[in-house]
């Protein structure tokens, strides 16, 4: 029987975010909030381990009250329970303050064999919260995991490197961050979705956690956002559109040759 | 720092709502209200037409004597006894920061039989190299490298640390920053010195590359960041430069390392060594079928290029994830980048925008990739690629 925790984040679907060409600012209207895609892979990995070894999967998220929707989606996928960590005092947290808060919640939950995270969130793309949770908890970690097997108290994982894969082993407990290729997240059934929609999700606030207030939210965040801007738009270069592909290629090669590139 | 709304001045025009990148402003009782999603980026402050939004500096209890921390450090990652390019790229940038701050540039080498690499670090601009050389550290290990870098920071107190945003760099960079209790800015693409404060300003893409954020770390030291490979150019190496090698004894024991690397499986040949490639040919959904990816590979073969793929092509299972270029894949900066049948979603552009020259082939003349391309052929990629391959073959054999 395994006790498995999965950390998830509700994120705007960044693939749907557009830039207003006139004001050069983000258009957020109509952008759906989703469960961070890599976190769904993390949940699927947890569910597969539970299917094989038995146990319980708990999903936790830190965020505003509406993040309950994301947690409900995880319940519908098959998580046994969900927990939201939410308080205005957590607002403006950078990765250090976020991981500190999540680690405090995980300590309160108490027992766990594996903590799963997605490799990064698609809105912030930092990939830091997972390792920082492991550090706060003082446990080992394996990041960028593409395959995992558990045998007794030993984990064997395939970790992605720039040049390939490494087989890494470690003892439980452990934090694991997963890449997309590890699995294909399951779809919830309609029945499970309806049941999840009715679920009451417990919310832990600052008062529920054993935390130092100075380490929370903006106050506990060493990094500060100084400025936000939209990257300069490129105007594009030479467009070649001849009547046949062969002619287009000829024009391209001539241009490259004129520019002394070839 | 905090963002406050002066409720008496607010006219509920809603201008701030639409500019907030984090949806952290809502209207309550006809007044703007800042929610906990606020990151104090200040985008709203500049937009408010009646100056009702203010940035308030909050006085922090300073517990750290920042004056004890000096020098810019670059962590040099090695792979099979060689320096990864990103370390050299960062020495070039680190040199500029160190000169701007009037400090020295040092680099950190952790591994086994790596002292010889110090020469290369000096040639790339380092004044000092800290070397921790031990058989236990021969392979990268999260616990071993975290403890080692943490120990160096505690003893030598650098002001700034730059690391490559590689899998290993992001793996232990976060643990080190957390152990020190300082800020770490992830995956930067721009570095500078903030004129007002003299702090390092770390610029990075967010929201899938849709916006850029500049981050500072005012009250904690060292200021740490991971920087994307291939964004900056390697400095010209000057082997007449010399410097000081500082040997630091290893304190890590084999039993302190809780994870063990059993085996490395190299699936990567030239074709997926995208970070170091001079030419990359990438394919996307426009290839329609997995079999057609061979057209991309044929061109790559002729050019001696590496093969990249868009997220769509990887998701479709046409290419393994190691080939993926983009925000969640690899970042590349080759001399020439061919985008074949890739529409150019912002996430893809974020991964290849530092290429010197971009050549795009796409049948949709409105595809965003053409905005990024120096040369763009509007046409069917299945038809254009074989001709291009054939022509390059002729040029090569001529």
Q: Do A224 and B166 touch (CB under 8 A)?
A: no
pLDDT reported for residue B151: 98
Q: Is it the case that residue B85 has pLDDT exceeding 90?
A: yes
Q: Do A256 and B35 touch (CB under 8 A)?
A: no
Residues in CB range of B138: below 8 A, 6 or more apart: B111, B112, B113
Per-position DSSP letters for B143-195, written without gaps between them: HHHHHHHHHHHHHH--SEEEEE-SHHHHHHHHHHHHHHT--EEEEESEEEE-T
Q: Do A261 and B336 touch (CB under 8 A)?
A: yes
Distance of alpha carbon B328 from alpha carbon B305, whole angstroms: 22
- Nearest residue of B to residue A93, measured between CA atoms: B39
Contacts of B215 in chain A (CB under 8 A): 223-226
Pick the more confident residue, A71 or A12: A71
Q: Do A25 and B259 touch (CB under 8 A)?
A: no
Q: Which residue is listed with tokens 């949770």?
A: A133
Reduced 3-state DSSP string for chain A? CEEEEEEECEEECHHHCEECCCCCCEECCCCCEEECHHHHHHHHHHHHHHHHHCEEEEEEEECCHHHHHHHHHHHHHCCCEEEEECCHHHCCCCHHHHHHHHHHHHHHHCCCCEEEEECCCCCCCCCCHHHHHHHHHCCEEEEEEEEEEEECCEEEEEEECCCEEEEEEEECCEEEEECHHHCCCCCCCHHHHHHHHHCCCCEECHHHCCCCHHHCCCCCCCCEEEEEECCCCCCCCEEECCCCHHHHHHHHHHHHHHCCCC
Q: Is A41 on the interface with B (CB under 8 A)?
A: no
Q: Strand A238-240's sheet: what is its strand order?
A: A238-240, B375-378, B357-362, B336-340, B279-283, B306-309
Which range among A124-138, A168-182, B263-277 shows the weakest confidence by mean pLDDT?
B263-277
Q: Is A212 on the interface with B (CB under 8 A)?
A: no
Q: Is it the case that residue B275 has pLDDT exceeding 60?
A: yes
* Identity of the residue in B20, B79, B216 whose CB atom sits nearest the CB atom of A226: B216
The conformation of residue B330, written as its DSSP 8-state character, comes to B
Q: Is A166 on the interface with B (CB under 8 A)?
A: yes
Phi, psi dihedrals of residue A238, rounded to the nearest 5°? -80, 125
Q: Do B187 and A255 touch (CB under 8 A)?
A: no
Distance of alpha carbon A62 from alpha carbon A46, whole angstroms: 19
Collapsing DSSP states into helix, strand and coil, what is residue B226? strand
Check if the beta carbon of residue B270 is closer than 8 Å to that of residue B155: no
Q: Which residue is listed with tokens 């720092």?
A: B1
Distance of alpha carbon B109 from alpha carbon B85, whole angstroms: 14
Q: Per-residue pLDDT tens for A167-177?
A: 999 999 999 99
Mean pLDDT of the region B103-114: 97
Q: Do A235 and B371 touch (CB under 8 A)?
A: yes
Distance of alpha carbon B105 from alpha carbon B292, whole angstroms: 49
Q: Is A147 on the interface with B (CB under 8 A)?
A: no
**Which of A245, A247, A250 to mutate to test binding with chain B, by most B CBs within 10 Å of its CB?**
A245
The residues in A 70-129 lying below 8 A from B, measured between CB atoms, are 87-88, 90-92, 94-96, 99, 119-120, 122-128
Residue B40's pLDDT band (cuts 50, 70, 90)? confident
Residue B46's pLDDT band (cuts 50, 70, 90)? confident
Residue B38's pLDDT band (cuts 50, 70, 90)? confident
Percentage of chain B modeled with pLDDT above 70: 97
pLDDT reported for residue B60: 57
Distances in whole angstroms, Cα of residue A101 to Cα of each of A116, A136, A219, A225: 16, 10, 13, 20
Mean pLDDT of the region A100-123: 97
Which range among A228-237, B24-33, B380-389 shows the weakest confidence by mean pLDDT?
A228-237
* Identity of the residue in B20, B79, B179 whose CB atom sits nearest the CB atom of A135: B179
Distance of alpha carbon B355 from alpha carbon B358, whole angstroms: 7
Phi, psi dihedrals of residue B357, rounded to the nearest 5°? -140, 130
Q: Per-residue pLDDT tens for A113-126?
A: 999 999 999 998 99
pLDDT reported for residue B269: 66
Q: Do B39 and A99 touch (CB under 8 A)?
A: no
Q: Do A64 and B36 touch (CB under 8 A)?
A: yes
Check if the beta carbon of residue B122 is closer than 8 Å to that of residue B241: yes
Check if the beta carbon of residue B335 is closer than 8 Å to that of residue B358: no
Q: Is A233 on the interface with B (CB under 8 A)?
A: yes
* Identity of the residue in B186, B266, B388 whose CB atom sits nearest the CB atom of A127: B186
Question: Distance (Å) from the C-alpha of residue B244 to the closest C-alpha of chain A?
Answer: 31
Check if the beta carbon of residue A243 is closer than 8 Å to that of residue A251: no
Percentage of chain A modeled with pLDDT above 70: 99
Check if the beta carbon of residue B319 is closer than 8 Å to that of residue B306: no
- Nearest residue of B to residue A177, measured between CA atoms: B171
Q: Is it the case that residue A3 has pLDDT exceeding 80?
A: yes
Q: Is it the case that residue A184 has pLDDT exceeding 70?
A: yes
Sign of CA dihedral A223, A224, A230, A231: negative
Q: Is it the case that residue A228 has pLDDT exceeding 90?
A: no
Q: Do B184 and A128 touch (CB under 8 A)?
A: yes
Collapsing DSSP states into helix, strand and coil, what is residue B336? strand
Q: Is it the case that residue A22 has pLDDT exceeding 80?
A: no
Q: Which residue is listed with tokens 């309160």?
A: A108
Percentage of chain A modeled with pLDDT above 90: 82
Question: Distance (Å) from the C-alpha of residue B114 to the closest C-alpha of chain A?
Answer: 20
Check if the beta carbon of residue A100 is closer than 8 Å to that of residue A220: yes
Q: Do B201 and A226 touch (CB under 8 A)?
A: yes
pLDDT reported for residue A47: 98
CA dihedral A134, A135, A139, A144 (to 10 degrees): 50
* Identity of the residue in A14, A27, A240 whose CB atom sits nearest the CB atom of B375: A240
Residue B369's pLDDT band (cuts 50, 70, 90)? very high
Q: Is it the case that residue A21 has pLDDT exceeding 90?
A: no
pLDDT reported for residue B272: 74
Q: Do B377 and A252 touch (CB under 8 A)?
A: yes
Mean pLDDT of the region A26-53: 92
Burial track A51-80 (b if 16+ CB lie within 10 A, e otherwise):
eeeebbbbbbbbbbeebbebbbbbbbbbbe
Question: Distance (Å) from the C-alpha of residue B28 to the closest C-alpha of chain A?
Answer: 16
* Identity of the residue in A88, A234, A240 whose CB atom sits nearest the CB atom of B378: A240
Q: Provide the CA A251 distance to its chain's centre, in angstroms.
A: 45
Among B53, B60, B70, smallest CA distance to B19 is for B53
Among B164, B347, B162, B178, smallest CA distance to A130 is for B178
Distance of alpha carbon A42 from alpha carbon B83, whole angstroms: 33
* Identity of the residue in B220, B370, B384 whose CB atom sits nearest the CB atom of A236: B370
Q: Do A163 and B38 touch (CB under 8 A)?
A: no
Q: Which residue is listed with tokens 């793996």?
A: B171
Average pLDDT of every residue of chain B:
92
- Nearest residue of B to residue A244, measured between CA atoms: B379
Q: Is A46 on the interface with B (CB under 8 A)?
A: no
* Identity of the residue in A128, A156, A248 whose CB atom sits nearest the CB atom of B384: A248
The conformation of residue B136, written as its DSSP 8-state character, comes to G
Q: Do B37 and A125 touch (CB under 8 A)?
A: no
Q: Model's pTM, two decimal places?
A: 0.90
pLDDT reported for residue A74: 98
Q: Per-residue pLDDT tens for B211-262?
A: 899 999 999 999 999 999 989 999 999 999 999 999 999 999 999 999 999 9
* Identity of the residue in B212, B345, B395 whose CB atom sits nearest the CB atom of A229: B212
pLDDT reported for residue B20: 84
Pick the more confident residue, B26 or B283: B283
pLDDT reported for residue B63: 67
Q: Which residue is listed with tokens 């590496």?
A: B306
Distance of alpha carbon B108 from alpha carbon A103, whole angstroms: 30
pLDDT reported for residue B1: 62
Q: Do A253 and B395 touch (CB under 8 A)?
A: yes
């Amino acid at each position: 029987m395994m006790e498995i925790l999965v950390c998830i984040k509700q994120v705007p679907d960044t693939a749907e975010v557009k830039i207003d060409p006139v004001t050069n600012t983000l258009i957020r209207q109509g952008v759906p909030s989703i469960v961070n895609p890599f976190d769904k892979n993390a949940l699927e990995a947890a569910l597969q381990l539970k299917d094989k070894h038995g146990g319980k999967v708990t999903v936790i998220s830190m965020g505003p009250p509406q993040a309950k929707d994301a947690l409900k989606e995880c319940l519908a996928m098959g998580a046994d329970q969900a927990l939201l960590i939410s308080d205005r005092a957590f607002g403006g947290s950078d990765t250090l303050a976020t991981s500190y808060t999540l680690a405090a919640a995980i300590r309160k939950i108490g027992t766990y064999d594996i903590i799963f995270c997605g490799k990064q969130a698609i809105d912030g793309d930092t990939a830091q919260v997972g390792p920082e949770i492991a550090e706060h908890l003082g446990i080992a970690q394996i990041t960028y995991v593409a395959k995992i097997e558990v045998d007794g108290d030993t984990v064997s994982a395939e970790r992605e490197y720039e040049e390939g894969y490494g087989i890494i082993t470690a003892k439980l407990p452990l934090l694991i961050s997963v890449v997309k290729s590890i699995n294909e997240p399951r779809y919830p059934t309609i029945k499970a979705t309806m049941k999840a929609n009715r679920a009451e999700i417990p919310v832990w606030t600052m008062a529920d956690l054993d935390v130092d207030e100075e380490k929370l939210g903006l106050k506990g965040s060493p990094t500060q956002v100084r400025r936000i801007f939209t990257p300069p738009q490129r105007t594009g270069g030479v467009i070649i559109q001849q009547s046949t592909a062969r002619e287009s290629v000829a024009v391209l090669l001539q241009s490259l040759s004129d520019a002394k590139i070839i | 720092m905090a963002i406050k709304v002066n409720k008496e001045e607010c006219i509920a025009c809603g201008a701030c709502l639409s500019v907030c990148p984090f949806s952290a402003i809502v209207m309550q009782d006809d007044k703007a209200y800042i929610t906990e999603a606020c990151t104090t980026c200040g985008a709203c402050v500049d937009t408010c037409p009646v100056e009702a939004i203010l940035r308030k500096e909050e006085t922090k209890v300073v517990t750290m004597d920042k004056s004890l921390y000096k020098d810019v450090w670059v962590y040099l990652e090695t792979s099979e006894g060689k320096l990864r390019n990103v370390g050299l790229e960062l020495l070039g940038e680190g040199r500029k920061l160190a000169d701007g701050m009037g400090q020295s540039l040092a680099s950190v080498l952790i591994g086994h039989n790596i002292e010889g690499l110090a020469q290369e670090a000096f040639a790339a601009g380092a004044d000092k190299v800290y070397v921790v050389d031990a058989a236990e550290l021969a392979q990268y290990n999260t616990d071993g490298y975290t403890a080692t870098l943490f120990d160096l920071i505690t003893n030598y107190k650098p002001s700034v640390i730059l690391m490559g945003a590689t899998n290993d760099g992001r793996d232990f960079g976060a643990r080190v920053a957390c152990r020190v209790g300082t800020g770490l800015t992830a995956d930067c693409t721009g570095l500078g010195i903030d004129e007002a404060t003299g702090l390092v300003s770390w610029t990075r893409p967010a929201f899938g590359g849709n916006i850029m954020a500049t981050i500072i770390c005012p009250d904690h030291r060292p200021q740490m960041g991971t920087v994307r490979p291939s964004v900056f150019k390697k400095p010209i190496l000057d082997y007449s430069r010399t410097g000081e090698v500082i040997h630091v004894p290893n304190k890590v024991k084999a039993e302190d390392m809780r994870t063990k690397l059993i085996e490395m499986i190299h699936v990567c040949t030239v074709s997926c060594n995208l970070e170091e490639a001079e030419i990359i040919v990438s394919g996307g959904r426009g290839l329609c079928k997995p079999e057609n990816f061979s057209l991309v590979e044929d061109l790559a073969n002729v050019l001696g290029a590496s093969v990249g793929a868009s997220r769509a092509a990887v998701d479709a299972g046409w290419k393994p994830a190691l080939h993926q270029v983009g925000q969640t894949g690899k970042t590349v900066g080759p001399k020439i980048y061919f985008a074949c049948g890739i529409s150019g979603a912002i996430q893809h552009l974020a991964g290849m925008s530092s290429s010197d020259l971009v050549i795009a082939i796409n049948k949709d003349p409105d595809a965003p990739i053409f905005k990024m391309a120096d040369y763009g052929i509007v046409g069917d990629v299945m038809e254009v690629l074989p001709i291009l391959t054939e022509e390059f073959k002729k040029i090569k054999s001529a």
